[in-house]
Amino acid sequence: MTTIKYIFILLLSFAIHTSAQNNIEELIKKGNKHLDKEQYSKAYDTFKEAIAMDKDNADLYFYLGNTCFDTQSYEEAIEHYSTSVKIDSKYKDALYNMGNAYYELTNYKKAIETFTQLITIDSEYYDAYFDRANAYYNLKSYDLAIKDFNAGIKIKPDYSFAYYDRANTWFQLGNFEDAVLDYSKAIDLNENIADFFFNRAIAHFNLENDEAGCQDLNKASTLGDESADFYIMEFCN
């Protein structure tokens, strides 16, 4: 009789757990639908409701962090991402988003620390290299930025903005030749970005390649960069 009771209790416990888990999954779907529709308040409340049902679910804090991130509540987003990482120390996407939240707060040192933690877990997470590079760039640690851009590009060689950002870093270092090369690589991958042409034009002017610079300014103008028109009038007529 004791065995029968024990089995019944186990079955009842399993049924309750399964029901609760199904409810949480439905709330996650509901919350993410609210996010897709930019209904942030509803998404926030939905994920909070789910957390009340399961306070040890790292995913729920991650989704709540994303909700706060999308509303530019970066400090609260960091709190929720941190909770995700406390529950699951290898939650890579939580670390990545937390690094970007620090970046948005211009706390570049904490962003670097967080991206470094992520890279330690997954050395192939190329976005972490790119974003850590940009954090180094903002701290004017240009050599470290170049190193990270190199590492990220080695993993993800078809990302145009990585070459563009590395080109901007070369530019800051006064290496206009490599800047032109990287702007050109960015353009080869995506020829519809006005900034790629505009910045290459400025690099060309620094190398006294005025004809090439003017060609790039004209292309930037046709792509909608109104500031290029001023430089065309100033340097190309």
Q: pLDDT tens across 5-15, in order?
A: 444 444 444 44
Q: Look over the chain and give the mean of its residue pLDDT values, rounded to a whole number.
A: 92
Same domain, 206 and 99: no
Same domain, 174 and 132: no
Residue 16 confidence class, pLDDT cut points 50, 70, 90: very low
Same domain, 79 and 143: yes
Structure tokens at 129: 């290299």
- Full domain range(s) for residue 177: 158-237
Residue 231 confidence class, pLDDT cut points 50, 70, 90: very high
- The domain tally of the chain equals 2
Structure tokens at 106: 């211009």
Cα separation of 72 and 78, whole Å? 11
* Domain end marker among 149, 177, 202: 149
* Domain end marker among 149, 176, 196: 149
* Domain end marker among 149, 167, 194: 149
Same domain, 102 and 217: no
Q: What is the pLDDT of residue 47?
A: 87
pTM score, whole prediction:
0.88
88 CB-near residues (< 8 Å, 6+ apart): 58, 94
CB 153 within 8 A of CB 163: yes
Same domain, 28 and 141: yes
Distances in Å between the Cα of 137 and the Cα atoms of 108, 145, 169, 175, 235 are: 9, 6, 7, 15, 29
Q: What is the pLDDT of residue 66?
A: 95
